[in-house]
Amino acid sequence: MQTTTIKNLNNFTGTVLIPVFETYSKSLVPIEFQGVSVASKVFYGKKDTHYMIEKYDCVHIFIGLGKEIDYSSLKTIFRRIAYNQKESFGTNVALVLPEQFSPEQVEAAISGLYLGSYDLGHFKKTEKHPFLNENFELALISKKDIANTISKAIKIANAQLETLRLVDLPPNTVTPKYLSNWANQSGEKYGFTVETLGFEACKKAGLGSFLAVGKGSENEPQFVIMNYVPKNVNAKTKHVGLVGKGITYDTGGLNIKTSAMLDMKCDMAGGAAVFGAMQLVADLNLPVKVTAIVPCAENAVDAKSFVASDVIHSYNGTSIEIIDTDAEGRLVLADGLSYLIKNFKPEYIIDIATLTGSAMGTFGHECAALFTNNELVSKKLQESGDAIGERLWPLPLWDCYKSDIESEIADVKNYSGKPLAGAITAAKFLEYFTDNHKAWAHLDIAGVAFGNDEFAKSKHATAYGVHLLTKFIENL
Ligand code: BES
Ligand code: ZN
Ligand code: ZN
């Protein structure tokens, strides 16, 4: 798709998208746009409604926004139009941007429109969305100078589209190697460096907790390390560290899952959010240094798999008693966090992971669980999330939960063995590997990374975290 900005619709033929704020159903004044009018009885801008009419060689789609609208609803409305109305899109679409739209609203509308091209049918022969045609033209009608906003909106959508794809593609495509290849290609294209440690290099480095998880898989684990350094670094340049859980499939291991295994291709969604955020940070040339680690492995069932009661040794020298092989995410994150802290010493650290069923049990699909002892990080993360509809809510990191993961044979155990406070005890486990870092936050996204919505019949990715992490970095 190519995007142009024009000041008016003179000589335009094609599909015209006209967002309309709500008026009044009994208003005598019709909704009107350049000679095309709709009686208020039929359409008056109510949220989640639209009205289509063909006139003057154009298909006009009036889109209801309600009286006021938040970022994520606006984005969803435009995604819906692009997704559902593609039959009415020929080779071009014009979007009329209302004068009262703020830059954020312009961003949400354009990002949403781009996301509407996403379809789960990656392996189908069916025709692709018209937006994916190189020659398709999107004309944006605005009297303001919105060039930077447009470019940012497209970059956000492109990063989210990558993350959606990485999560939704099946685990026999998205192996750890696939993810490290993706990182290499994205790094080359957008400007960040990538180093990957394969099995031998991980063994040499002592990443024992990470390697234990991948032992039962045919697919070699990959410990992916990415670095983005902005232009003009100086003493004040902030440095953020990210760690994302990259379990390409979670069978549970020998403690094999008895439910919801079908969804477990989503277990690399934290890693995919970090990959998307890395692409976006670099694409936006943000003036912050970012180091990101995604430990990628498959938790498989095999004679070579690790077993419950094994004691393994992590990168920072901690011995870990395995109580349950299904509590594998915290094991790969443990080494990711320790490696990041020891080798890169970032000022801020955020890890993001589909870590526990308990986070989903607590918050459903509405928000991620946030764990941090740093008030500033907590505030900035929540503010960033609220602004774009990727919400977070805090849970405690109190030390009273620490006794649950005390082991008798080793320094720590990977699970309490009790189905209580699962998200919190998992976070306490991670804390063990943060070397008392003063600005660490953990995001458990098990409930928000993957689910049902109007854009497919089966559960699929949401790209939660890509924009949140980037906005947090931007707002530091
Ligand atoms: N990958 C799962 C968590 C998960 C659950 C992600 C639902 C997405 C949706 C994780 O590795 C896991 O299995 N957690 C267990 C831990 C338990 C065995 C200590 C859980 O939460 O039940
Ligand atoms: Zn698991
Ligand atoms: Zn898992």
Q: Is the CB of 274 under 6 A from ligand 1?
A: no
Same domain, 239 and 270: yes
Residues whose CB falls within 8 Å of the CB of residue 47, separated by 6 or more in sequence, listed in order: 22, 64, 65, 66, 69, 73, 77
What does the pLDDT read at residue 380? 98
Strand partners, 193: 227
215 vs 235: CA distance, rounded Å: 42
Half-sphere exposure of 286 (CA within 13 A, CB side): 25
**CB 306 within 8 Å of CB 392:** no
Q: Is the CB of 186 under 6 A from ligand 1?
A: no
Whether 148 is covered by a domain: the verdict is no
Whether the pLDDT of residue 272 is over 90: the answer is yes
When pLDDT is averaged across residues 445-455 and rounded to a whole number, the result is 98
Q: Ligand 1, residue 359: give the atom nearest the CA.
A: 21
What does the pLDDT read at residue 185? 98
Domain CATH code at residue 333: 3.40.630.10
Q: Nearest ligand, CA of residue 354?
A: 1
368 vs 462: CA distance, rounded Å: 12
Among residues 83, 115, 143, the one where a domain terminates is: 143
Domain region containing 67: 2-143
Same domain, 86 and 198: no
249 backbone φψ class: left, alpha, beta (φ>0; ψ -120 to 50): beta
320 CA → ligand 3 middle, Å = 17
192 CA → ligand 3 middle, Å = 28
Whether 240 is covered by a domain: the verdict is yes
Q: DSSP E strands: which ranges in 43-130?
A: 50-55, 58-64, 92-96
475 vs 469: CA distance, rounded Å: 10
Same domain, 134 and 95: yes
**What is the tally of structural domains in the chain?**
2
Same domain, 241 and 271: yes
Whether 149 is covered by a domain: the verdict is no
228 vs 290: CA distance, rounded Å: 5
When pLDDT is averaged across residues 155-180 and rounded to a whole number, the result is 99
When pLDDT is averaged across residues 268-282 and rounded to a whole number, the result is 99
Which among 258, 323, 326, 420 is the best mutation to test ligand 1's pocket, defined by most ligand atoms within 8 Å of the CB? Answer: 326
334 vs 320: CA distance, rounded Å: 10
**CB 114 within 8 Å of CB 153:** yes
Residues whose CB falls within 8 Å of the CB of residue 32, separated by 6 or more in sequence, listed in order: 38
Tokens of 311: 């004691």
Q: What percent of the chain has pLDDT over 90?
A: 98
Among residues 143, 174, 190, the one where a domain terminates is: 143
Mean residue pLDDT of the chain comes to 98
Half-sphere exposure of 19 (CA within 13 A, CB side): 29
Which among 330, 355, 430 is the best mutation to test ligand 1's pocket, defined by most ligand atoms within 8 Å of the CB? Answer: 355
Whether 176 is covered by a domain: the verdict is yes
Cα dist from 390 to 302, 383, 448, 466, whole Å: 37, 10, 9, 10
Cα dist from 278 to 40, 165, 296, 409, 414, whole Å: 46, 16, 16, 39, 29
When pLDDT is averaged across residues 425-454 and rounded to a whole number, the result is 98
Same domain, 228 and 296: yes
250 CA → ligand 2 middle, Å = 6
**CB 107 within 8 Å of CB 29:** no
Q: Nearest ligand, CA of residue 252?
A: 2
Among 6-15, 75-84, 109-118, 375-384, which stretch is predicted with the lowest mean pLDDT?
Answer: 6-15
Domain CATH code at residue 109: 3.40.220.10
Same domain, 465 and 335: yes
Tokens of 22: 């709500």
307 vs 6: CA distance, rounded Å: 63
Q: Ligand 1, residue 354: give the atom nearest the CA.
A: 6
Tokens of 222: 């990959």
Tokens of 234: 């100086």
Whether 76 is covered by a domain: the verdict is yes
List pLDDT tens digits, range 21-68: 999 988 899 999 999 999 999 999 999 999 999 999 999 999 999 999
Q: Is the CB of 167 under 6 A from ligand 1?
A: no
Q: Is the CB of 415 under 6 A from ligand 1?
A: yes
Residues whose CB falls within 8 Å of the CB of residue 73, separated by 6 or more in sequence, listed in order: 47, 66, 389
Same domain, 311 and 406: yes
Global confidence as pTM: 0.98
353 CA → ligand 3 middle, Å = 8
Whether 187 is covered by a domain: the verdict is yes
Whether the pLDDT of residue 400 is over 90: the answer is yes
Same domain, 110 and 240: no
359 CA → ligand 2 middle, Å = 13
279 vs 281: CA distance, rounded Å: 6
Report which DSSP code applies to 379: H
Within 10 angstroms of residue 117's Cβ, the number of other Cβ atoms is: 20
Same domain, 414 and 470: yes
What does the pLDDT read at residue 11? 87
Q: Is the CB of 404 under 6 A from ligand 1?
A: no
Tokens of 385: 């999330």
Tokens of 439: 């600005």
29 vs 44: CA distance, rounded Å: 10
Whether 64 is covered by a domain: the verdict is yes
Among residues 121, 143, 165, the one where a domain terminates is: 143
465 vs 467: CA distance, rounded Å: 6
Angle (CA) 102 104 109, round 5°: 100
Which among 356, 360, 404, 464 is the best mutation to test ligand 1's pocket, defined by most ligand atoms within 8 Å of the CB? Answer: 356
**CB 207 within 8 Å of CB 316:** no
Residues taking part in catalysis: 257, 330
Confidence of residue 327 (pLDDT cuts 50, 70, 90): very high
Same domain, 305 and 451: yes
**CB 366 within 8 Å of CB 276:** no
Residue with CA closest to ligand 1 atom 17:
327
Closest CA to 130 of 92, 78, 170: 92
277 CA → ligand 1 middle, Å = 24
Same domain, 69 and 166: no
Q: Ligand 1, residue 329: give the atom nearest the CA.
A: 11
Whether 362 is covered by a domain: the verdict is yes
Same domain, 26 and 136: yes
Total count of residues recorded for the chain: 476
